[in-house]
Amino acid sequence: MKPMSQVVAQSGLGRMLKEGILCDITINAVGGRTRAHRAVLAVRSPVFMSMFSHDLKEKEQSTVDISGMSLDACCAFISYFYGNLSEEEFRAHRSELLTAADKYDVADLKNACEKSMLDDVDTENVLARLQMAHLHGLPELKRTCARLLVEFRKMYEIPEDFGEFLAAGDRELVAEVLQMRQAPDDKFVVYHQMRQAADDKFVAYHQDVSSKWFGTPTAP
């Protein structure tokens, strides 16, 4: 349970955002804008801290442009800084939140997005998640998606989509997946090594028995 003082402080921050109390920065997104407080953004994001601490456009004009992010997702992103983001909003905007978290170096939000995406990765979204993980540097999600495709053979369930990925996907990522696909299974290799060793012993045994009983054939 959170300490009462923390609950009160978080509630106060949420009210400041919701009611626009003493906001000093405007956030422009696709389809509109919202307001926030520089100090709250800066304390959670090194990128925002740098923007507001140096003589940059964002400091002089008191505006930040988050291009490519919808207004609803932007409001969810800002709400996260105030501890005011609901689970429903988080899940609805995970992809855009991940992009923003990576861009503005909000590590805890980025980690939360990765863990959430790990929970419901499936055949339908595995390629999108794989490419997202590669783009934003999410090693656990990337590894899980690659294993789902290759080791669990999900690539055969989505042949058209997988073919498009091979043709148009990031070349480095495609190469990694193909390398996994071509690599033999370790257990398979060990099994055949054991079989080969057993066969060699069997041949050596029969050669030894044959030599003792019949002698070694001599050349004419």
Q: Is the pLDDT of residue 8 over 80?
A: no
**Is a pLDDT exceeding 60 seen at residue 217?**
no
How much is the pLDDT for 220?
45
The string of pLDDT tens digits covering residues 22-74 is: 999 999 999 999 999 999 999 999 999 999 998 888 888 899 999 999 999 99
Mean pLDDT of the chain, nearest integer: 87
- Residue 127 near residue 142, CB atoms below 8 Å: no
Q: Would you state the pLDDT for residue 10? A: 78
Give kind and range of the element (H or E) at residue 196: helix 186-214
pLDDT reading at 196 higher than 90: no
How many other C-beta atoms can be found within 10 angstroms of the C-beta atom of residue 216? Answer: 8
Query: CB–CB of 145/131 below 8 Å?
Result: no
- 């783009």: which residue's tokens? 135
How far is it, in rounded angstroms, from Cα 63 to Cα 66? 10
For residue 143, the tally of other CB atoms under 10 A from its CB is 13
The distance from CA 68 to its chain's CA centroid, rounded to whole angstroms, is 20
**Identity of residue 91:** R
**What percentage of the chain exceeds 90 in pLDDT?**
71
The percentage of residues in the chain with a pLDDT greater than 70, rounded to a whole number, is 82
- pLDDT tens-digit readout, 133-184: 999 999 999 999 999 999 999 999 999 999 999 999 999 999 999 998 876 5
Query: In Å, what is the CA distance from 11 to each residue of 4, 6, 43, 70, 87?
Result: 11, 8, 17, 25, 17
> What domains does the chain contain, in order, with CATH numbers?
1-86 (3.30.710.10)
Please tell me the predicted confidence (pLDDT) of residue 4: 72
